[in-house]
Amino acid sequence: MELSTPAGLESLARAVAERLGADRTEKDGNTGRVRIAYADGRALELTPNRPRTRITVTAALPEQATAYGIEVKAITITALPRPRPSESQAKATARRTADHIRQRLLPAHTAALAELRERTAPQVDTLQRAESALAGFLDRPRGGVAISEQPVRLPLGLTARCAVAWWHTLDGPSRAVAPFMADALRRAQLATTEQHGSGYVFFAEPPAQPSDARFRIAPAAGGEGWDLVDEFTGACVRTYDDREWAQGIAESANGEADAARRAQVASMDLPGLSADLIEDEQFRALAVELATTGHMPYGLPEIDYTQTPGFHIYPSAEPGTAKVARLLEPWGAIRPGARCEAPEREVERYDKDMEAYARLLTRPGRTVAVRLDGVQVTFSEPPTRP
């Protein structure tokens, strides 16, 4: 077996992967290395060494491990043992290589991942910072802030403990409130992950040296497909069937994260708020008040707005005044200024929602009035523009 050639190394890697119960093998670009990957995301790299009868095997670790000084020493294997009776040289090489990996490398790999899990577990001061950041979310009869640790299946071969926050209701976590809780946590300098379609918000201390690629893809921890993983919190954003599609989403997410970092803003966008109101605390407070009482902010990508009305807050021409609109797709069904186009039952729902919005938003320091195109909220002390 010629181990110095790509074909020979790939052949050995496939045979070793089968003996180790790994998922697949893949070439590592044009580096000459071949990667053995497990379904849970663990990976080993085989590199040809000199003389040609030797190979080096390295266990891959997440980027976070470097920050904590956690490493696994590579092993070198003489890969051309004497075959057993009725055993070919190729099978003997695969057997010896797999035995050395199993005995010398995998235990150290597992121990390193376990240590990383413990080192990256949520700390008390992180949880306290989160509690302080979410103190403005006043508990209500049907909801309140909840913070805890949750075991999360990560593409690391192990289960990790992650800090998570959510708005608790009798029906479970509220998706409507999750973006605003994540925004508050980011404003407290915490990194957050909002899982697609979920009311949970994972959070963690951001790394001291942020990676250029915050989001990456890995074999799905829960089965087939590819997870989009946030390296900062360790949580999975969403699972995709197609690898190329998942990689494209990861690149887009990394671009958005970099743009937010360069713009020095907590949130590039927030559902239910027009872009020029996101940085204003008083207007964000209006959105939080509506969301925490069960109303859906307009702009969540996984919400069917042909069935679920969404509120949208935008600035009025008058200083210190906001308009709160109720939107239901398709746009021609009902929208500000075109109520008569909607079916009678929708007009009735629209009027009831507008009255509900007005009741919720009425409090000292504000004047609230129901108009044909939505609810007008005027602040006694107009908010200053950022």
pLDDT digits (tens, 9 = 90+) for 292-331: 998 999 999 888 887 888 899 998 888 888 899 888 776 5
Across 32-41, 197-206, 266-275, 364-373, least confident range: 32-41
What percentage of residues in the chain have a pLDDT greater than 70?
87
User: Rounded to an integer, what distance in angstroms lies between the CA atom of residue 337 and that of residue 316?
Assistant: 15
Q: What local confidence, expressed as pLDDT, does residue 345 receive?
A: 74
Burial of 108 (0-12, 13-18, 19+ CB in 10 A): middle
Across 18-32, 82-96, 127-141, 149-163, least confident range: 149-163
Q: What local confidence, expressed as pLDDT, does residue 188 receive?
A: 93
Residue 333 has pLDDT above 50, yes or no: no
In terms of pTM, does the model score above 0.75? Answer: no
Residue 274 has pLDDT above 80, yes or no: yes
347-364 pLDDT, tens digit per residue, is 778 888 889 999 999 988
Residue 43 has pLDDT above 70, yes or no: yes
Beta bridge partners, 144, equal 168
Cα torsion at 224, 16, 1, 78 (round to 10°)?
Answer: 140
Strands 24-27 and 34-37, how do they pair?
antiparallel
- Beta strand spans in 256-363 (E): 296-297, 310-315, 321-327
Q: How much is the average pLDDT of 82-107?
A: 90
User: Rounded to an integer, what distance in angstroms lies between the CA atom of residue 294 and that of residue 199?
Assistant: 12
156-169 pLDDT, tens digit per residue, is 455 567 889 999 99
CB 126 within 8 A of CB 163: yes
Question: 178-187 and 124-133 are packed helices; what angle lies between their axes, rounded to 10 degrees?
Answer: 110
